[in-house]
Amino acid sequence: MSQQQENKRNDWTAKIFQIGTSECAIFFAAVAMVLALLFLALGFWQTVLVAALMALGLFIGGVKDKKAWITDKINKLFPPKQNVPYRTQNEEIERAVKAAVKEQPPEEAPVPDGENAQE
């Protein structure tokens, strides 16, 4: 394959997943048509099974380090305890503000004129 043909193929492949291009519209219309035909021919659950098995095959064939990939996804869903989220800084600020408010003496309510006035 010549360099020019390879560049054209790479450009077309990049346009397939670029939203707003006609190549993208044609590709996803074809995917939707295949899904619709599968739903009609096989039914819903069989189509779901076919899609799940295709996803499993894609995972097995496409991911080199499966253990690291799975660990990464689990850590994104459930962060480890030592990775404290950003909100702790806000919690520390709130604790400091509460402590400062507790240390301030309570303000006395003003006494209206004429009541409890000592002369």
- Rounded to two decimals, what is the model's pTM? 0.47
* Separation CA 56–CA 10 (nearest Å): 26
The dihedral region occupied by 30, where left means phi > 0, alpha psi between -120 and 50, and beta the remainder, is alpha
Per-residue pLDDT of the chain (119 residues; tens, 9 = 90+): 688 888 888 888 888 878 888 888 888 899 899 989 999 999 999 999 998 998 888 888 888 888 998 999 898 888 877 655 555 667 777 878 888 777 766 666 666 666 555 55
Burial class (CB within 10 angstroms; exposed 0-12, middle 13-18, buried 19+) of 68: exposed
* Separation CA 13–CA 17 (nearest Å): 7
47 and 38 Cβ atoms separated by less than 8 Å: yes
